[in-house]
Structure 1
């Protein structure tokens, strides 16, 4: 949204709204198309991380309601409790929000008027060159890949599957690419907290469709226009 609006809209969309509003499965998983359809058709309110933590702080409409936890791999300097430990108990998916948090600032207090959406198409791309072009044209893209048990022990470097069984599928945000010591990689933002692995990111081999990560990526079109949903609807009516 920030890139598409050329910096005019620098706000995060609510993971609470999108994750639990776009799909009834919630924490049970979903696919990478549904969130974009939800944002386009119904819009998403703004929201930050648990209790206003994270770079955008507090005061947005609907922050994520589940606490930070340590997910997989070495604990390292991660200050958050491991899954199942005190402070990170197993929980069911929360309901999608229908109103803003009690501590939301005045500019983000009204749920209906805080919804952001886009007018335009979603795009998909696959393969190394196609994904590079998509990122160059419009910024980060969403993808999914197969997680093997050896990825759960990843702590840094360029990952490639060596051993272990399938643990499940996982959706992530691909933000760029590079080369280190002759090995090509994708740089990917994970959702397992900012202390995990490489400050919340990981690198994975590029060009060999590691874990199916190059099968398909999804994003809004570079020509899509982002704005408050109410403003977009008013323009359409006019």
Structure 2
């Protein structure tokens, strides 16, 4: 009995030490060696030195932030030993303010449609959200946002939830200016591609760009050409830009929306209501994600956003953004050259909502 008790105690101790620390358990004593074990990372001797320097710098950022008593907390995740350029490469959201898309439709309010007090598509049964994905080092967040919005739209319309191919959208959406594949693009171009070609399932055309490669568009060698289409869309609705009532109504009556946001300070987010986008500085719309709801906690309103940085990031792959009764707005200066595909068009755009969440919401119109 004593031996068994010792074994159980030892197992519990190992389980405690094997668990990744939460934000309130972090201190400067958290070592890089422990981090490597916690996140199953292995490096060569030379790269290990470089990664450790990144880790130490970013850990200090996290610890300093958590002392401020803000509404959100930072924590360690798989990105903490990345350098700044690697973090930027994951934010491949672009946009062309002058391009509304070949198949866009204006948002038309339905008679009697109202916004619900709260919306959370994570809790819908049967599910209309597939599992949170991990785009890795590829800047194809735009393709993930498109694919996941179509998955949800089709599930809401038919009751069937397919895991669709992000790689097909990433690799096969045509080059437009500098927008392409892991180099970054914007959801409208992905929707244009799916209208004209349809989209297949992930198991047929699996994700291959995790390490930031640019796989060429291809047909599955085991299936007839072209790739078997599972879902088609006829277009997409551009919900009123910077209109909080329109976005609330669309979420309540249509489904999850693809959006563009400024995610430059999201990397180490762990939990809470994020209010870290400062409109006194430039709002750079650099990342594409899905808006899947809104709610209230202890009197504070928030948006629910689904990211594509793995389910271990944030709140099980999601982040909550502050939602003000009167949305704060600001300029994205240098938009045409920093985020556009052609380097033309307006050099600044007006964006509203925390991190620009209200700027460019879109909803795919599926064929059933």
Q: TM-score category by the smaller chain?
A: 0.5 to 0.7
SS in 2 for 1:121: strand
Give 1:114's aligned residue.
228
Determine which structure has the larger strand proportion and give its number.
1
Q: Higher Cα Rg: structure 1 or 2?
A: 2
Q: Provide the alpha-carbon RMSD of the alignment.
A: 2.4
Give 2:291's aligned residue.
174
Give 1:29's aligned residue.
184
1:214 to 355, 358, 364: 358
1:14 and 2:165 aligned: yes
| 1:126-205 alignment, distance < 5 Å | 126=241, 127-148=243-264, 150-161=265-276, 169-205=286-322
Superposition TM-score, scaled by structure 2 size = 0.45
Q: CA deviation at 1:153?
A: 2.2
Give 2:238's aligned residue.
124
Determine which structure has the larger helix proportion and give its number.
2
Per-residue deviation, residues 174-218 of structure 1 (Å, max 9, x unmatched) = 111111111111111100011111111111112421121101211
Q: Evaluate the alpha carbon distance shift between residue 216 and residue 114 of structure 1 in structure 2; reply closer, same or farther with a 3 A threshold.
A: same
Q: Is the 8 A contact 2:191 2:364 kept in 1?
A: yes
Q: 2:282 and 2:258 mapped to 1: Cα distance?
A: 24
Q: Evaluate the alpha carbon distance shift between residue 181 and residue 115 of structure 1 in structure 2; reply closer, same or farther with a 3 A threshold.
A: same
Q: Evaluate the alpha carbon distance shift between residue 40 and residue 156 of structure 1 in structure 2; reply closer, same or farther with a 3 A threshold.
A: same
SS in 1 for 2:270: coil
Per-residue deviation, residues 86-133 of structure 1 (Å, max 9, x unmatched) = xxxx54322223225x6xxxxxx4453621343533101132211121
Per-residue deviation, residues 129-180 of structure 1 (Å, max 9, x unmatched) = 11121122221110011123x3222111111125698776000011111111
Q: 1:43 and 1:183 mapped to 2: Cα distance?
A: 40
Q: Is the 8 A contact 1:3 1:139 kept in 2?
A: no
SS in 2 for 1:64: coil
Give 1:64's aligned residue.
207
Gaps of at least 5 residues in structure 1 are: 48-59, 68-89, 103-108, 227-238
Q: Is the 8 A contact 2:198 2:233 kept in 1?
A: no
